[in-house]
Structure 1
Amino acid sequence: MNKAFLLASLLSTFLLGCSSSNPRQNLEQFETFTGGQVMGDATSFYWITNKLTNPHTASDYVVVGDYGWYKSDYSWKEGELRELVREGKQRDTSNTLVPYRVHIRFNKTGEAVYQQYRIDGRVLPIQPVQLQRYQKEAQSVIDNATKQNGDGLELMQGYWDGKTFETCSGSEFENLEFNQTLPSFVIERLASVDSYAAFLGRKYLNKVSVEELLMLSEDSQDCITRPELLPQ
């Protein structure tokens, strides 16, 4: 066999093998989107990553007024929630904010095969009703963010100086357009004070349309990043 032909054949086979495991193709299996909501005293931010339309990972960051806050990281396998880690602060029996951490692994039938609950340095058992609540909250993150994504909404964070909104990723928009009625003190703040703002909205060429304001704070507030509590 001609050596040149053999070399070309081997090179072609090698390139074909590389293209079949192209990282770009693998990345296209994943879709990431965001969301959030305000319900009572709780303000929630959501991040979702789907693999071939099925839940793969999700995270949330939730502030519950004066009662504390938490951030969670969830992982699914074959459509079933398999692991979660949550960290935050909550009030104890003396009404003091104390740190806590929850780590749970589930088998494919939803049974908790590993569980750990630490609060203020103590290890406590997790009651069955709590396990069910964690599972429902994980599903709620998926359901809410999926619906919002279908409506064309996303979580946006950034800084408004009265003239320009600069997102946490560095994009700038000249206008903020609100599709909800805001209290007068919020309008006054937006008109006169540099602020951090987080909301559900849509991006256009030179403006952002705000569907729901989630958080408004001093411009010293840092952008809230997606929690990463589970191994990647």
Structure 2
Amino acid sequence: MKKAFLLVSLLSTFLIGCSSTSPRKNLEQFETHTGGQVMGDATSFYWVTNKLTQPHTSADYVTVGDYGWYQTDYAWSEGVLREFIREGEQRNSSNELAPYRVHVRFNKSGEAVYQQYRIDSKILPIQAKQLENYQKEAKSVLETTMKQNDEGLRLVQGYWDGSSFKTCAGGEFDRIEFNQTLPSFVIDRLASVESYAAFLGSDSLGKMSVEELLMLAEDSHDCVVRPSLLKE
């Protein structure tokens, strides 16, 4: 009986411990949202991870046609951008695509305390106006993504084979509905060629609804993975 009593006591203690720590774990939960947009020549994919109601990390992947591309990893604290790294390619002084990298850290007041801009193996200064633009771009990622999330939209990537759409996350949909008017060449391509596609959309009852097509490419195009450039 003593052994049985001891077992029950230990079990009760374990359950009480679990119940007492459960709310704390809930407070530490993270939630990730995705989004994107097309503006002019720029096509953007967004990722935002919130801790409670505050941004914790975010990221973007942006292609700008013939002008290059970049990906950025952002870190936040108490609603303030504290650090980011951006890597990509942009036109240099010779109008050639060249690799570049930007790394900036900010204090809690939003002032830059460390900055490095490297292009073509050269280290150049970052102008104050450009630093301000970086901060605005980071906030835009948050605002755009959360607005789209409020509208029930998210970034979806995958492959269309003419009859079904297989997402990069492993889902499959036979029914797709487009809520925007597509150019005829896009319709023809979707009808005849296997393609990679990325769009803003939502799914319900086995049907995928496309709100805005962001990118259409050859089926050899890889799924775009969230950038991870900052060290934990």
TM-score, shorter chain, exceeding 0.5? yes
Q: Deviations over 1:107-136 (max 9, x none)?
A: 000010111111111111111001100000
Partner of 2:195: 195
C-alpha deviation, 1:30, in angstroms: 1.2
Partner of 1:164: 164
- Between the aligned partners of 1:161 and 1:14, the Cα distance in structure 2 is 52
> Is 1:128 equivalent to 2:131 in the alignment?
no
- Between the aligned partners of 1:226 and 1:164, the Cα distance in structure 2 is 25
Q: Which moved more, 1:11-20 or 1:61-70?
A: 11-20
**1:69-218 to 2 correspondences below 5 Å:** 69-218=69-218
Q: Which moved more, 1:14-23 or 1:117-126?
A: 14-23
C-alpha deviation, 1:170, in angstroms: 1.4
Judged with a 3 Å threshold, the aligned counterparts in structure 2 of structure 1 residues 89 and 169 are, in CA distance, closer, same or farther, namely same
SS at match of 2:93: coil
Percent of residue pairs bearing the same amino acid type: 72
**1:47-66 to 2 correspondences below 5 Å:** 47-66=47-66
- Between the aligned partners of 2:12 and 2:102, the Cα distance in structure 1 is 51
- Between the aligned partners of 2:110 and 2:221, the Cα distance in structure 1 is 38
Judged with a 3 Å threshold, the aligned counterparts in structure 2 of structure 1 residues 66 and 18 are, in CA distance, closer, same or farther, namely same
Read off the aligned partner of 1:130 and give its amino acid letter: Q
C-alpha deviation, 1:51, in angstroms: 0.7
C-alpha deviation, 1:7, in angstroms: 7.6
**1:37-52 to 2 correspondences below 5 Å:** 37-52=37-52
SS at match of 1:109: coil
- Between the aligned partners of 1:4 and 1:206, the Cα distance in structure 2 is 51
Read off the aligned partner of 1:210 and give its amino acid letter: V
In the TM superposition, structure 1's runs of 4+ consecutive aligned residues that sit over 3 Å from their partners are 2-24
Q: Deviations over 1:123-175 (max 9, x none)?
A: 11111001100000000000000000000000000000110000001111002
What is the RMSD of the two structures over their aligned residues, measured on CA atoms? 2.1
- Between the aligned partners of 1:178 and 1:7, the Cα distance in structure 2 is 60
- Between the aligned partners of 2:87 and 2:16, the Cα distance in structure 1 is 46
Read off the aligned partner of 1:103 and give its amino acid letter: H
- Between the aligned partners of 2:67 and 2:90, the Cα distance in structure 1 is 6
SS at match of 2:105: strand
Question: 2:48, 2:58 within 8 Å by CA — same for their partners in 1?
Answer: yes
- Between the aligned partners of 1:209 and 1:150, the Cα distance in structure 2 is 16
C-alpha deviation, 1:82, in angstroms: 0.4
How many residue pairs align between the two structures?
A: 231
Judged with a 3 Å threshold, the aligned counterparts in structure 2 of structure 1 residues 7 and 182 are, in CA distance, closer, same or farther, namely closer
Question: 2:202, 2:210 within 8 Å by CA — same for their partners in 1?
Answer: yes
C-alpha deviation, 1:21, in angstroms: 4.1
SS at match of 1:170: coil
Give the TM-score of the pair, scaled to structure 1: 0.93
User: Which consecutive unaligned segments of at least 5 residues does structure 2 have?
Assistant: none
C-alpha deviation, 1:31, in angstroms: 1.0
- Between the aligned partners of 2:82 and 2:150, the Cα distance in structure 1 is 25
Question: 2:27, 2:52 within 8 Å by CA — same for their partners in 1?
Answer: no
